[in-house]
Amino acid sequence: MSFIRDYYSHADVRTRMVEFLGGPSLEQATCMFISGDTTSPEESFMPRHPRELWKCLEHGFDVSRSLWDRDALIADIDIEYVNFDFPAEPYLDPERTFDLQQPVEEAVERVLLEWGVCPLHLISGRGHHFLWKIRRNSNVFSRLAEFGPVPDFMAGFYDKPHRPSGAHVELGLAAAFGGLGMVIEYLAGRVREMAAPHSRVPIELTAVEVGPGERGREIISIDVSEYGDPLNTRSVRVPFSVYMKPWHQRWLMGEDFVNRLPYMFLIPRHEMDIRESILTMRSAAKTISLAGRASVDIPDGSVAMERVIDAYLSSFVAEYHQWFYSLEHDPPELWPQTYDQAPLDGVPPCVRHLLVHPNDLLVKPAGIQQAVRVLLALGWHPRHIAGLIRSKYERDYGWGYRWYEFSAGQRADFYVRIFGGLIYAGQDKLLDFNCESTKEKQFCFRYGHCCNLEQYRDLLLQRRDDERLAGRPVNGLFLSDEHT
């Protein structure tokens, strides 16, 4: 711990961290909060006022800043290597880890360059962040707010006082954040489509389990999940902060392994190739030197984002989003007559198990993806799939305090929207929508029951090709008339 405190005592490191918080001083920082994590995985989300940064550094914390900002929306494209079988892999072989990400990294840069977005490029222990901001007084902010969704359940959520200051999230800001999430989803889909032919491992939106590859079940995740939670809950790690994720997950990787790791730092990709970046992020001396010459001010992309929004609004993704939000969830008072009565007879055992035992299978992206595929095949509208999942989240399945801090409805909408959209646009070819792949992902729960997922895949492909997605469910599902 004394090593980290000594590192944090350097003036250049502190100057850069304050710069990233959005102001010339901690008192003038534009971010609404910071968070300082300890090495304990049991620590809960604890937002702090930015002026507490020095205290966090004295404790050797891994520091993040809020996406919630007084002056701007913060856009973030996060790509990272994920290995579900060997979580220590990116730290054992960092050069391979970043080589595998190169097609996605290059695709992000090409897509953003196409519209003139020049992001701040950061390198973490297992991936990249590309960040830029959209001024709240800009025209593009207003455009985002025009089409960004704020369902009634989210309007009520945002209207409450939020930690640490007790501030509310204004509805205009909430709508713009929702619109930005949909545009980022569009960008992520383009990046995935561009990079996939050149990638040696699957590329997924969020951390979706896949079948085993060269070194276990490994993927490159374009992690857009921060747009699936309320704005007041999500943050991004501060450059030049110590990168403590392996220490947070020592229970997963093993105490001995973590104790042998060198300290790592989040750094800007500043005039360095990836090899030099890896060496720098694993050296306090090199990182301190970098802090003396590399700015981490988040660039303003407000003007360039006009063209991005134009492209989004003319895309299949925007068309799908309009269709997705054309319906509402059935209200909770109707759930006993609607979602609770959803017949499971025509649902395969894997999805039936997810719906009966949702904690924690139905919060995992692969579990949600499986449910979306099957229920779309059975004729469900994707917004009602989200409503069904929300109804599971808001019932007593031992969730603890999870849905007090976050929003069950927004989380359900977000993931169903992503996976349904990939199907709608034809980007999800459904190649792994079969029993063998489901077993490899460890999402098969047959318990002696026979199953044939291929029939659901064929039905879903037929519905998509015939433009009959969300026809009346073939299993006779009852939904309230006003929402069907």
The pLDDT tens digits for 131-157 are 999 999 999 999 999 999 999 999 999
Nearest to 417 by CA among 174, 143, 182, 71: 182
Which whole number is the average pLDDT over 291-302?
98
Please state whether beta strands 203-205 and 120-123 pair in parallel, antiparallel, or not at all (unpaired). Answer: unpaired
**Predicted pLDDT at 44:** 62
Q: Strand 267-268's sheet: what is its strand order?
A: 203-205, 218-223, 72-83, 127-135, 120-123, 267-268
Q: What is the pLDDT of residue 472?
A: 58
**Has residue 381 got a pLDDT over 50?**
yes
* Beta-carbon contacts of residue 384 (< 8 Å; ≥ 6 apart): 327, 329, 330, 339, 479, 483
The span from the CA of 429 to the CA of 397, in Å, is: 33
- Reported for 111-115, long-range contacts at CB under 8 A and 24+ positions apart, including other chains, are 111/187, 111/190, 111/191, 111/194, 112/187, 115/304, 115/305, 115/307, 115/308, 115/311
Please compute the mean of the pLDDT values over residues 376-390 and round it to a whole number.
Answer: 96
Strands (E), 157-316: 203-205, 218-223, 235-237, 267-268
Task: Write down the mean pLDDT value for the chain.
Answer: 93
Is residue 7 over pLDDT 50? yes
Q: Up-side HSE of residue 388: CA atoms within 13 Å toward CB?
A: 29
pLDDT average, residue stretch 414-442:
95
Q: Which residues contact 96 (CB under 8 A, 6 or more apart)?
A: none
pLDDT of residue 471: 77
Alpha helices in 300-440 (DSSP H): 304-313, 316-324, 349-356, 358-361, 365-377, 382-393, 402-405, 408-424, 435-440
Per-residue model confidence (pLDDT) at position 484: 38
Residue 476 identity:
G
Least reliable range by pLDDT among 6-10, 41-45, 179-183, 449-453:
41-45
Token pair for residue 29?
């920082």
Q: What is the pLDDT of residues 184-217, one digit of tens each?
A: 999 999 999 999 999 999 999 999 999 999 999 9
Q: Say if CB 308 and CB 118 are below 8 A apart.
A: no
Range of lowest pLDDT (92-101, 157-166, 449-458, 466-475): 466-475
Region 150-178 average pLDDT? 96
**pTM to 2 decimal places:** 0.94
Confidence of residue 352 (pLDDT cuts 50, 70, 90): very high
Tell me the β-bridge partners of 267.
Answer: 123
Residue 127 pLDDT: 97
**Mean pLDDT, range 351-360, rounded to an integer:** 94
Question: Percentage of the chain with pLDDT > 90?
Answer: 87
Q: Is the pLDDT of residue 14 over 80?
A: yes
Q: What is the pLDDT of residue 233?
A: 94
453-484 pLDDT, tens digit each:
999 999 999 999 998 898 754 444 444 444 43
